[in-house]
Chain A
Amino acid sequence: MTGPGLEFTPESAKPFLQEVMERSGQKLTACYQCRRCAAGCTVGDETGFFTPNILIRNVILGDRETALSNPLVWKCVSCYTCGTRCPNDIQTARITETLKKMAKEAHIDPLQPKVAAFHDSFLESGLRWGRVNEMELMGVYECRNILRDARDGNYDAIIDELKGQARLGMAMFKLKRMHTGFMMAKGRKEIKALYKKAKQRRQAPAGMNP
């Protein structure tokens, strides 16, 4: 059996690999393809067996396109099973998390737009008020989905999504598991100010870092 030949250009592969390693804090070059991660990956069935070792190989070979857009990056549930079992301590969840951020920065449409919308909405909500208000979070998240679906003309998807959420919401309301009060933490100002400073520092040209 023969497969397509693998291409490898060190000049372009290296900076990409370096960036993923630095940002994820994972030493991808330590991977020796033993596939222990593959054997236990929770979402193996969901990704069509696009397993952590394959993702790592893609990054090492500098296949940026595949690395930034594949089922594992968007289906990984950050369960840390692969990383706990990896003989070289490689946490693939940290790699998929990093690649999500890099995909966003490169304006690549997420394969699972709802996953991206959810995490963005969650963090925004936590940052805005200091605490996550579940009702507000779900509202913001669904608005994102509706806007996207409307842009793409997926009106059926909008209706399905709203129906499903309304059903769950009603059930939660009946069981008194819906909280109508609003929560805030005063300290959100401290975190917001810190975040702003950290962002500015990151964007400052090299050499300007304190």
Chain B
Amino acid sequence: MEIAYYPGCSLKQSSALYDLQSRRIFSELGVALKEIEDWNCCGATSAGKVDDFLAMAMPARNIGIAEAAGYQEIVIPCSACYSRTLVAQQRLADDARLKAEVNTGFAKKMNGGIKVSSILEVLIARIEAGALKPKLRRKFRRLKPVCYYGCMQTRFPYTVPVPDDVENPQGMETVLGALGVKAIDWNHKTFCCGASAAVNDPETSLNLMGRIMTEAIDRGANCFVATCPMCQLNLDAHQDAFCRRIGIEERLPVFFITEVIGAAMGISPESLQVDRHFIDGTTLLKELDGDER
């Protein structure tokens, strides 16, 4: 099975490990990710703040490319890219004039009929098709994760078809459940980490992340699991800073969902590049290595 794949800028740079892991995990699950040709930046959250036309046109071009290549579905692991693309497709479907206007500029016109999927949707579909079970080698009984969704995976600035509950999503819990891991319930799963505020307004962002960390610790979690590269990088790279501010001694690894799945499949943390985290996650995964199925 082949589906179109939009990595976006961060999966090609600071979160290249997520790109590698996604390709590996999906190939284990029988899905070949086909990176669309000559894709461009989706504009992320900045486009909406600077120019609305670009916020529509940038993702629209990528949709056109995927459609022209004959794909029915495109998977977008980065939450920001996923949100921008899903919103652009819906808004242009609702505004024929704007759609015609952006299409005048594209070699590959966008139609708007492709299914835009988050990484969780595709994972859950493969799990339901029975592709995961035969691949599992380990059971992480002592892994106590809190699932962190952030904003862009669940809430949208425009009415779009959403696959999960907005206030209390369950997609990651479902995937972890299929691995035999029970996630801890908590309140901050969709609370914002500040996203780019970590760069341009650290005061705000560190406060927000401090609140996320405080509850994770209070609930007895021993790691975070995330799907968004921005959330992962923020909670990981700035963890020392926000923990110091509020006097938290503990540190929690921030895993991509693909890392937990990969580890459960028996893939070594090194070959998944878990050693590229700021907060060490390799040790925890190795400690749990004894949990044979």
Contact = CB atoms under 8 A, between A and B. Distances in A.
Interface of A: 23, 42-43, 45-46, 74-75, 77-81, 83-84, 89, 91, 93-94, 97, 100-101, 112, 114-115, 117-120, 122-123, 126-127, 130-134, 138, 141, 168, 171-172, 175-179, 183, 185-188, 190-191, 193-195, 197-198
B40 A130 contact: yes
Contacts of A176: 273, 276
Given A185-B39, A197-B105, A190 B157 contact: no
B210 to A, nearest CB: 11
A94 B157 contact: yes
B12 A179 contact: yes
A79 B105 contact: no
A83 B10 CA distance: 27
Given A91-B158, A131-B9, 14 more contacts: A43-B208, A78-B48, A80-B156, A94-B48, A94-B157, A117-B200, A122-B46, A126-B44, A127-B54, A171-B237, A176-B276, A190-B106, A191-B57, A198-B101
A163 B229 CA distance: 24
Interface string B137-164: 0000000000000010001111100000
B14 interface: yes
Nearest to B58: A191
B87 to A, nearest CB: 11
A120 B51 CA distance: 10
B193 to A, nearest CB: 9
A129 B53 CA distance: 18
Contact of A93 (B53, B101, B157, B204): B157
B84 to A, nearest CB: 11
A77 to B, nearest CB: 5
Contacts of A178: 13-14
Interface string B41-62: 1011111111111100110010
